[in-house]
Amino acid sequence: MALTLLVEQRLIRSNLVTFFTRHEKTWTAAASQAYKFVKDGFPSGAPIRPDDVAKALLPILEVNERLLAELNAKKLTQKYWVGNFVDLVVERTWDTVRGNDGKATDHPKSRKHGSRRAGE
């Protein structure tokens, strides 16, 4: 699922955004591997969406020792924290992991809301 404002605020309050920033290279590498896995498995030319990558990244981060240690240290033991962190990773690394592969419409942030006229 895409990162919502509410989830992002929870991640900020729990200092997981700071944790992401401290280890950004690790998370970018993991997201890049997940993107490549999805790209290699999808039909040629099929669009790769952030949620597709998140589905591939989730099982990797569910067993990531660094992330699990951080969550345990903060007593964030509910399963949704890993999923929320996955959404953060995909959101913050998408442009980098997508590289020149994607089109402007591959990510919701690249769309300009309200820029189309009625009837278009």
Residue 20, in any domain of the structure: yes
- In one-letter notation, the amino acid at residue 42 is F
The domain of 61 spans 6-99
In a domain, 37, yes or no: yes
Angle among Cα 41, 4, 57 to the nearest 5 degrees reads 25
Residue 108 has pLDDT above 60, yes or no: no
Q: Is residue 57 part of a domain?
A: yes
Residue 14 lies in a domain: yes
Of the candidates 91, 90, 71, 89, the residue with the CA atom closest to the CA atom of residue 80: 71
pTM assigned to the model = 0.83
Buried b or exposed e, range 33-56, using 16+ CB within 10 angstroms: ebbeebbeeeeeeeebbbebbbeb
For 4-17, what is each residue's pLDDT tens digit? 999 999 999 999 99
Residue 65 lies in a domain: yes
113 belongs to a structural domain: no
| Domain-embedded: residue 119 | no
Give the confidence band of 102 by pLDDT, cuts at 50, 70, 90: low
> Does residue 45 form part of some domain?
yes
Number of domains composing the chain = 1
Give me the DSSP letters along 19-58.
HHHHTHHHHHHHHHHHHHHHHHHSPTT----HHHHHHHHH
